[in-house]
Amino acid sequence: MKKKRVFIISHTHWDREWYMGFEEHHMRLVNLIDDLLYLFKHDPDFDSFHLDGQDIIIDDYLAVRPEKREEVMHYIKEGKLRVGPFYILQDDFLTSPEGNIKNALYGMKKARDYGHQPVNIGYFPDTFGNMGQAPQMMKLLGFDAVAFGRGVTPTGFNNQVGQGKFDSTYSEMNWESPNHDQVLGILFANWYSNGNEIPVDEVEAKAYWTKKLAEAEKFASTRDLLFMNGVDHQPVQMDVTKAIKVANKLFPDYEFIHSNFDDYLKALKEDLPEDLTTVKGELTSQDTDGWYTLANTASSRVYLKQTNIKLERTLENKLAPLFLLKGQVTPTEQDKLDYAWLELLRNHPHDSITGCSVDEVHQGMMNRFRKVAQVAKSLCGEALTAFTDKIKTDGFSEEAKPFVILNTSGVTKHEEAVVKVELFRRLFAEASPEQAYRDAEKFLEDHQQLRVVDQAGNSVPFRVVKRYAAYGYDLPERTFRVPYMAAYVELAVASEIKPFSWQTFAVEFGQGDERGLISGQEARLENNFIRVEVMPNGEIKLFDQRNLNEAYRLHLVDTGDIGNEYIYRQSADKSRIIFNSPIKNLRSSQLLQGQKVTFEQTMLLPERAEAKLDYERQAVIDITHRTSVRSSVVKPFTIKVTLELSANDRRVKIKVEGDNQHQDHRLRAEVTTNQINAHNDSESIFEVVTRDNQVSPNWKNPTNPQHQQAFVSVHEQGKGVVIGNLGLQEYEVAPDGSEIALTLLRCTGELGDWGYFPTFDSQCLGEFEAEFSIGLTDGSQVEQVTAYQVARADQIPLITGQTARHSGEYAPEKTYLTVSNPAFAVTATERSESGEMIVRGYNLTAEKQPLEVKLWDQSAAAIVDFNGNKIDRAQTELDPAEIKTYRYE
């Protein structure tokens, strides 16, 4: 009989920032790598160290110890330091699909730049749930195996009750994505610390291994047993090879090997049985008691999610398309783009973007976000100028001030585009600053009448938002800065821009179709598709014009929260305050292409939880055992609600804003669906996932929170509700499907988990805003898919930019990308440094779809994987739930 093999992999799980600020963890990281370099030099039996699947650790170490670079690179090349495949260990659900891919591509590239192939496994040891498309994504990255820590329950050989959907007999299993791609899944059934701190003493080692081997063998499908020698922030075990020698002496029927994932996987695959369980789709601990899914991190520090989404949209849907449109990307530009992405990825680790760290961590994140925004502003400005310089605008009159409106989303946008146009400029070289300012003001006085025209000379409706004189400056590429004063006008222009298209307009002097802002006090918005009514108590009713007898209702609800950054726990009094006070300051406006209504509402809310919660936090009482109620002291909580309905849309946009001075509470928008439905559909990572509204029989948590990207929907034949959002990534659907709740704000005072870490900033005191939309459909696939695309497009604003009169190779109006089927959701349009162009997207449906995707009216040269390698896939068909990448030359 062959010996059983015990593969011991030394590692640490390195949360870059968490219960301490980044630099405190950073200093401990330096000690860890120093120890490793010593071990590599002095212990020839020490095989290697697994660097937690993330390359950023190398960057962090060398930032403090740059003189060690050559030594570190040597040990990476030698395979002693095992790096990659990712740049950071991200949260699956709270970063975008493209953010997930960028993390892998940058991680793999860095590993190769360091001189070694990345670790050949998708590595998700501590993600807060696992995305359903991970198998397909890993296949497209070149991996056929993943290791993960959450989402599946191993049952072992003695399971008497039959397996559920999220049970596996073994710690090894097949994991299948919605498109039916499969990878080998390796569950850390006894966690990623099952081989931590191995004793050298023989008596202790005998007891240790007797217990540990039995635990591993209970779930192992082969004679190959995996033991992870490390845990969170664990220093390397300096005597691990001695401990292994002791184990080999004590257990002659086992071979204990200090090893690595590559060798372990090779051995494991040779021994795998044929009866592995197959688990399917996302793995989010659906079949547990529900308390520790960590899904409520989707609503912790909502401001982080909102900022991240906006920057992802800037990099993915503004900067990347502009790079594609402007032409060749230089190496310098590519390096700047990489810098922006890597800086954003530093905010994507699972303890960072989730909002479940100490305040210092998230303060640092906001600084990183600001850096990304600054880089993006610079690059977008340059790229927009380069793009608009290529558009033919000399068809306008000589006095005209041309500008371009660009739509990089997948739907036609019927909305006001706001554009800033410079009408006049006086250089400081021509006049004193004061005189230049007066000249600019005088120009505005003398040119009150304006008109906006399209490229055919037709007058376009517009509204003047403001006129003003202001200081500005240019920074020429090769000469000194040029200051000036200028006269500006900010216009709202009626536009109808097709998907992936631009149109060119111009401001001219003279009488035009200028519209004023018509104001009133109407509590109703209406178009041919939807009617919206605001009730005197603040409730909002929506009607599909096809059935005015059935109202969908929206109201805001506030509850107490005695949980933490990880987990919502309602206060013991079950306080539930529905916003139903008389509205005030009602205003309505007739816009160029729609209507807007605003109102305010004030409710008296408890100012915080009772003082008992302070004790429960400090005593580290588990939230499931807390009994605090809300304070009897109340104070006003005022919100402003804005509703906007465009003339051609089937959805109403909603914005809720206020100044939060209350603690320990949660604010949600609750929308009735007028349905009894067992399922909901939500956008996740490269998929529209269908989730059960009913929980498992094992579920104990009174709530069932879920993640989302751009939308959630409940629909049936004849009716459907689609709720879109901008950075509001937590929702919950009632068990019977009758209501969708969207979390707008969640305020807590501690980190949670394994100790007491106060986090006052997570109370989110101060100004806040929440943007979402409600769309109504007939429940058909056609209208559902259209509504999904609209929700995704609502996260992508129109791009506007002024240009000069000039000739150009681009027509004044052009569609650069055509997608024949709205079931294809485009996630990327990029130009590589080599000049190749990429279009990527995924199937919004679970059905095969016909599809043609043309860029610049050309068909793709190839279908490729995430690495750019050609794969055998049909160009004109989209498989169910397929992710597809087109390459153009």
Distance CA 800, CA 185 (A): 47
Structure tokens at 38: 């010593």
Distance CA 404, CA 813 (A): 9
Distance CA 863, CA 872 (A): 7
Q: How far is CA 404 from CA 468, 495, 585, 810, 811, in A?
A: 21, 11, 37, 12, 11
- The set of residues, in sequence order, having a beta carbon less than 8 Å from that of 136 and lying 6+ positions away, is 177, 178, 179, 181, 686, 881, 882, 883
- Identity of residue 635: K
Q: How far apart are the first and last CA of the chain?
A: 57
How would you classify the pairing of strands 594-606 and 584-591? Answer: antiparallel
- Say whether 204 sits in a helix, a strand or coil: helix
Angle between helices 359-388 and 302-314 (to 10 degrees): 20
Neighbour tally for 441: CB within 10 Å: 16
Q: Confirm whether 126 is a catalytic residue.
A: yes
CA 534 to chain centre: 32
519 neighbors 454 (Cβ within 8 angstroms): no
Closest by CA position to 283, among listed 348, 186, 140, 161: 186
For residue 206, report the phi and psi dihedrals to the nearest 5 degrees: -60, -45
Residue with tokens 């679970």: 846
DSSP 635-694: EEEEEEEEEEEETT-SEEEEEEEEEE---SEEEEEEEE-S---SEEEEE-SSSEEEEESS
Distance CA 877, CA 232 (A): 45
- Specify which residues 556 forms β-bridges with: 669
DSSP 825-860: EEEEEEE-TTS-EEEEEEESSSS-EE--EEETTB--
317 neighbors 408 (Cβ within 8 angstroms): yes
For residue 521, report the phi and psi dihedrals to the nearest 5 degrees: -135, 40
Query: Helix/strand/coil (H, E, C) string of 75-112?
Result: HHHCCCEECCCECCCECCCCCCHHHHHHHHHHHHHHHH
Angle between helices 331-345 and 302-314 (to 10 degrees): 170
Please tell me whether the peptide bond between 85 and the residue prior to it is cis, using omega within 30 degrees of 0: yes
507 neighbors 447 (Cβ within 8 angstroms): no
Distance CA 294, CA 296 (A): 5
Number of H helices, E strands in the chain: 15, 48
Secondary structure element (H or E) that encloses residue 595, with its range: strand 594-606
82 neighbors 119 (Cβ within 8 angstroms): yes
- Say whether 282 sits in a helix, a strand or coil: coil
Closest by CA position to 824, among listed 794, 797, 859, 792: 792
Distance CA 469, CA 410 (A): 37
Q: Which of 15, 126, 224, 879 is catalytic?
A: 126
Distance CA 49, CA 11 (A): 6
**Catalytic residue positions?**
126
